[in-house]
Amino acid sequence: LPGHSADYSHATFCIEEEDHTLGNALRWMIMKNPKVEFCGYSMPHPSEYKINLRIQMYDNHSSLEALQQALSQLDDLAAAIEEKYTASLEAEQWEQGEDK
């Protein structure tokens, strides 16, 4: 979005067709990066299906690189969860409740 610094050390990104599910997870992953000074997101309006993600970096590091790294890490995390879940199902390690 407009208003970013020339070196992209401070920028706001608009991510279409996403909501709090990705926004909160992405904010959490980005804030784990020690080069990140601030990260926050907002939904401009409940009827608009998009989020605005603000990233501010220390020492002129690239917020775009931080965003790309966090997306990759979230993808890896989701793959690890899916792998463990699938292994659990295949090993029949679950409990089944009864309706009363």
Q: What is the pLDDT of residues 12-70, one digit of tens each?
A: 999 999 999 999 999 999 999 999 999 999 998 988 899 999 999 999 999 999 999 99
Residue 24 inside a domain? The answer is yes
Within 8 A by CB and 6+ apart from 36, the residues are 30, 55, 56, 57, 58, 66
Q: What residue numbers bound the domain in which 37 lies?
A: 10-90
Residue 57 inside a domain? The answer is yes
* Kind of pairing between the strands at 36-42 and 10-16: unpaired
Which pLDDT does position 64 carry in this prediction?
Answer: 95
77: pLDDT confidence band, cut at 50, 70 and 90? Answer: very high
Give the Cα separation of 90 and 49 in Å (integer).
36
Which pLDDT does position 98 carry in this prediction?
Answer: 80
Residue 52 inside a domain? The answer is yes
Residue 75 inside a domain? The answer is yes
Residue 61 inside a domain? The answer is yes
Residue 84 inside a domain? The answer is yes
Residue 50 inside a domain? The answer is yes
Which pLDDT does position 8 carry in this prediction?
Answer: 83
User: How many domains does one find in the chain?
Assistant: 1
Q: Are 58 and 89 in contact (CB under 8 A)?
A: no
Residue 98 inside a domain? The answer is no
